[in-house]
A and B are shown apart, each in its own frame.
Chain A
Amino acid sequence: TQLLEQSPQFLSIQEGENLTVYCNSSSVFSSLQWYRQEPGEGPVLLVTVVTGGEVKKLKRLTFQFGDARKDSSLHITAAQPGDTGLYLCAGGSGYSTLTFGKGTMLLVSP
């Protein structure tokens, strides 16, 4: 069974701060996705990374896939209240369905 551990589980910061959240596994994934979910809504896909060591940027968000394709990180620069939400990582490999982590709940206060 593949597991994805996300840390921290909860993060509360002030507007303008930087933060990094992590997604770790002992299993290798062929691809890893990051989603953001706001209260009462479904998750929205942010990015997919497929190559070990790959870095993708989405405005103030930087996503990195580990060299061994077992872990990933999401770094947010100068966080804003609009970044508040549950960040979920999900990994896929072979013919199995996606494995989701339990998420990091981020609260950015003005």
Chain B
Amino acid sequence: SQTIHQWPATLVQPVGSPLSLECTVEGTSNPNLYWYRQAAGRGLQLLFYSVGIGQISSEVPQNLSASRPQDRQFILSSKKLLLSDSGFYLCAWSGIAGTAVNQPQHFGDGTRLSIL
């Protein structure tokens, strides 16, 4: 069966520090991968998605970036965190790369990021 792992579960970082959140998927090949941010337990804001290795689409301009160095690995990064970057970050996968990016998605357990 397919599983998705995100880490760390909780992270407290000072303003201006760098960030690296990692997400890996097991049990499937060529998935579409997604990074979302969720504020205050409400709706999901899509940040980035990827339909293949090295292919990243950005939905919202910000000081975050994403990379997909391997088929089942998706990384969310920042060089300098802002207070507004606080939130709950979720990684998700769906279908097979090359198929529609609006298929049902399967989420990790998220990372709670607090910026001080």
Contact = CB atoms under 8 A, between A and B. Distances in A.
Q: Real complex partners, A and B?
A: yes
Interface of A: 30-31, 33, 35, 37, 39-45, 48, 86, 88, 90-98, 100-103, 105
B59 A42 contact: no
Contact of B42 (A31, A33, A96, A102): A102
Nearest to B41: A86
17 contacts: A30-B102, A41-B110, A42-B90, A42-B107, A42-B110, A45-B104, A45-B106, A48-B104, A86-B41, A86-B42, A92-B100, A100-B44, A101-B43, A102-B42, A102-B43, A103-B43, A105-B41
A103 B42 contact: yes
Contacts of B90: 42-43
A95 B59 CA distance: 14
Contacts of A102: 42-43
Closest CB pairs A-B (n = 5): A92-B102, A42-B107, A102-B43, A100-B44, A98-B102
A100 B43 contact: yes
Contacts of B101: 95-98
B32 to A, nearest CB: 9
Nearest to A34: B104
A101 B92 CA distance: 17
Contact of B100 (A86, A90, A95, A101): A95
Contacts of A95: 100-102
Contacts of A90: 105
Interface string B74-108: 00000000000000001010000000111111111
A98 to B, nearest CB: 5
